[in-house]
Amino acid sequence: MEKDNKTTGKVVGIVSNLVMVEVDGPVAQNEICFISLGNESLMAEVIKVVGKVAYVQVFESTRGLKTGSKVEFQGHLLEVTLGPGILSRNYDGLQNDLDKMEGIFLKRGEYTDPLNREKKWAFKPIAKVGDEVQAGDWLGEVNENDQPHKIMVPFKMKGSFKIKEIVPEGEYIVDHNIAVVEDEDGAETRLTMVQKWPVKLAVGSYKEKPRPFKLLETGVRCMDTLNPITEGGTGFIPGPFGTGKTVLQHAISKQAEADIVIIAACGERANEVVEVFTEFPELEDPRTGKKLIERTIIIANTSNMPVAAREASVYTAMTIGEYYRAMGLKVLLMADSTSRWAQALREMSNRLEELPGPDAFPMDLSAVISNFYSRAGFVYLNNGSTGSITFIGTVSPAGGNLKEPVTESTRKAARCFYGLSQARADSKRYPAIDPIDSYSKYLEYPEVQENLARNVGDSWLNEVNKAKDVLLRGKEAMEQINILGDDGVPIGFHETFWKSELIDFVILQQDAFDKIDSSTPMKRQQYMLSKVLDVVDSSFAFNHFEDVSSFFKEVINEFKQMNYSEFDSDNFKQHEEALEKLLKTQAN
């Protein structure tokens, strides 16, 4: 709640975006304040309090700021505004609507309303007078880009309430009083379609949060087949520059089974963020046939923006995700790149002169990352519905070093590891996910195994493990061939290598520019993996190592033509028949 008498202060020290403020009253951690600079007010957040001095990180450039400047504290934490009209919007890390900004360059001290306060929404009540409700319960819904946007009891309200009044079905602006609720003491509260929530606090308006158990189909074979992620799961994609992190995120965003997609460009370079702005409005949504941007929210903070805004962007994105999860929707949250967020934490930690950890990152970096990742998940709501946030972040380790602190800390928090390989990217094997180093810990969960067996097949897990084993043995065979030469090893080594190449070319590699091959349903993935493993298990007769490569190249070509054909179509079956004939010619 906001304080009646706001605390004020004056600037007594400035270190770039870190400003020291001498206060005349109480202030709280993460409280928001505004610093006066001429006709401008600069927004800042309290990150440390020592005695009567508050250390605040400013979300704008502090150029021209002097000691003695007046500061006014707002009595509330850094918050987001939640309500109808968030979808299709382009926000910065503070939830300013970038489309409402004027000019080419963002002006310092300019803040815009994230919602359209004048638009009328067709409201349909769900609850009725006399119902008992609590925080997060649904009062009604409006149609937001064909999504059922639930209007909820604000998350901040504690205890149980009885609905005293609720408006009938009709069109209302977001600030219209749509309900009146009464607490146990008879105190009334008027509710609108808008509510606010602090971004650093997790929204806990749900009944239960079990371990994720449902497979989330992304359409990307090297993920779904070998190392699947679950609905409500967490994963991360580390890799050197140029290995395809952003492109892979775009593919997952377009194809994954999600109702809402949130892209948090938390500090990537401006040109990559521009691609998101220009491409997403043009991409066709395979789920609805409309534009993908209609169910997408973009939070943009490029690397040339202040570090404080970069840090806020990931929390803003997660809080908006939790809001839509509380509506019973599947949310996919993609962050690119969390390394920039960690670097922002490092900069502020250094300016605070805190004891540095490895590579000068904060000592509590691992805890901060873990706390953030823990906000994702699959939940059961109070009314029995389910919602989820599946979070996948990218990491850009300096020099491609996967042992650096951000990657190591994220590895402890995320359950799926999709490591991108520079060697695979250089050889144009995309997606460049390393099949041997990558893993999914969800495959260890009994409930996930049961769900896979029920929906994909009892033999699926064994086939996945067999494929990974073939890939590993193929890598070992290749190393022997490289050391001893083609004619220095038995023909069996060449056969082992080419069987691993078969899995690589047919299952792992995928053509993002082909209409059919760009996304593969789970049923088709299961069929193709079984087909490939049948070839791997077959015995062939070869007289020379050159015969091995020429034969398997033909086999791979037939399989790839199957990948490019509609599943079970005449063209697909023709290539399947051609493949069977080819296999018989070399059978032992």
Are 382 and 243 in a shared domain? yes
- Residue 205 included in any domain: no
Q: Domain holding 507: CATH number?
A: 1.10.1140.10
Q: Is the pLDDT of residue 364 over 50?
A: yes
Residues 87 and 262: their CA atoms lie apart, in Å, by: 9
* 358 and 294 co-located in one domain: yes
Let me know if residue 435 belongs to a domain: yes
Residue 104: per-residue pLDDT: 67
Ligand-binding site membership of 245 (annotated)? yes
Q: What is the DSSP string of 233-275?
A: -EEEEE--TTSSHHHHHHHHHHHSS-SEEEEEEES--HHHHHH
The answer to whether the beta carbons of residues 242 and 202 sit under 8 Å apart is no
| Residue 260 sits in the same domain as residue 389 | yes
**Neighbouring residues of 553: CB distance < 8 A, sequence distance ≥ 6:** none
What confidence score (pLDDT) does residue 1 get? 45
The pLDDT of residue 290: 84
Q: Between 549 and 245, where is the model more confident?
A: 549
Domain boundary among 392, 408, 443: 443
Distance (Å) of CA 309 to CA 13, 225, 302, 343, 504:
20, 37, 9, 12, 41
**pLDDT interval class at 271 (50, 70, 90):** low
pLDDT of residue 274: 73
**Cα dist from 532 to 473, 525, 577, whole Å:** 16, 11, 14
Q: Which of 397, 416, 443 is the last residue of a domain?
A: 443
Looking at the structure of the chain, the number of domains it has is 4
Q: Which residue has the higher pLDDT, 512 or 579?
A: 579
Rounded mean pLDDT of the chain? 93
Residue 278: pLDDT over 90: no
Q: Is residue 513 part of a domain?
A: yes
pLDDT of 272 = 67
Q: What is the largest CA-CA distance in the chain?
A: 90
Q: Cα–Cα–Cα angle for 485, 486, 489, nearest 5°?
A: 85
Q: Per the domain annotation, does 102 fall within a domain?
A: no
The yes-or-no verdict on residue 546 having pLDDT over 80 is yes
Domain residues for the domain of 32 are 8-77
What CA–CA distance (Å, rounded) separates 45 from 308? 8
Confirm if 365 and 245 have CB atoms less than 8 A apart: no
Give SS3 for 319.
helix
Domain harbouring 54, CATH code: 2.40.30.20
How distant, in Å, are the alpha carbons of 263, 269, 396, 525 from that of 246? Answer: 11, 11, 11, 24
| pLDDT for the residue 389 | 98
In a domain, 111, yes or no: no
Mean pLDDT within 83-91? 95
Q: Is 361 annotated as a binding residue?
A: no
Give exposure, 48-65, as e/b (b: 16+ Cβ within 10 Å). ebeeeebbbbbbbebeeb
Q: Do residues 350 and 466 share a domain?
A: no
Residue with tokens 């893993």: 439
Centroid of chain to Cα 98: 21
Closest among 574, 498, 483 to 532, alpha carbons compared: 498
Q: What is the CATH number of the domain that holds 350?
A: 3.40.50.300
The answer to whether 405 touches 359, Cβ cutoff 8 Å, is yes
Check whether residue 478 and residue 373 sit in a common domain: no
Please check whether residue 452 lies inside any domain of the structure: no
**Tens digit of pLDDT for each residue in 61-71?**
899 999 999 99
Task: Indicate the pLDDT class of residue 2, thresholds 50, 70 and 90.
Answer: low
| pLDDT tens digits, 498-508 | 999 999 999 99
How far apart (Å, rounded) are the C-alpha atoms in residues 467 and 448? 19
Q: Looking at residues 5-23, what average pLDDT do you find?
A: 94
What pLDDT is stored for residue 268 in this prediction? 66
pLDDT, tens digit (0-9, with 9 covering 90-100), for 458-481? 899 999 999 999 999 999 999 999
**Quick count: other Cβ atoms within 10 Å of Cβ 526?**
18
Closest alpha carbon to 29 in 81, 93, 78, 94: 78
Q: Mapping DSSP to helix (H, G, I), strand (E, B) and coil, where does residue 425 land?
A: helix
pLDDT tens across 159-184, in order?
Answer: 999 999 999 999 999 999 999 999 99
| Confidence (pTM) | 0.95
Q: Is 374 in the same domain as 275?
A: yes
| Pairing label, strands 416-417, 234-238 | parallel
Give the pLDDT band of residue 513 (cuts 50, 70, 90). confident
The answer to whether the beta carbons of residues 5 and 35 sit under 8 Å apart is no
pLDDT exceeds cutoff 70 at 269: no
- Asked whether the predicted pLDDT for residue 485 surpasses 60, the reply is yes
Q: Are residues 436 and 466 in the same domain?
A: no
- Using alpha carbons, select from 262, 292, 297 the residue that is nearest to residue 389: 262
pLDDT: which is higher, 300 or 221: 221
- Could you read off the pLDDT of 518-542 as tens digits, one per residue? 999 999 999 999 999 999 999 999 9
- 496 known ligand binder: no
Residues 470 and 382 in one domain: no
* Residue 90 covered by a domain: no
Q: How confident is the model at residue 369 (pLDDT cuts 50, 70, 90)?
A: very high
pLDDT at position 270 is 62
244 is in an annotated binding site: yes
Is residue 119 annotated as involved in ligand binding? no
Residues 435 and 477 in one domain: no
- Confirm or deny that 242 is annotated as ligand binding: yes
470 and 524 assigned to the same domain: yes
The CA distance from 161 to 285, in Å, is 40
Same domain (yes/no): 234, 359? yes
Is the bond into 337 cis (omega within 30 degrees of 0)? yes
Token pair for 511: 């053509």
On whether residue 3 sits in a domain, the answer given is no
Give, as one character, the DSSP assignment of residue 161: E
Tally of CB atoms within 10 A around 413: 20
Last residue of a domain, one of 20, 43, 77: 77
3-class secondary-structure state, position 58: strand
pLDDT of residue 49: 96
Domain of 165, CATH number, reads 2.40.50.100
Helix-helix angle 405-413:365-373, to 10 degrees? 40
One domain for residues 472 and 542? yes
**Ranges 255-259, 280-284, 509-513: which has the least confidence:** 280-284
Residue 267: pLDDT above 90?
no
Sheet of 147-152: strand order equals 147-152, 138-144, 121-125, 170-172
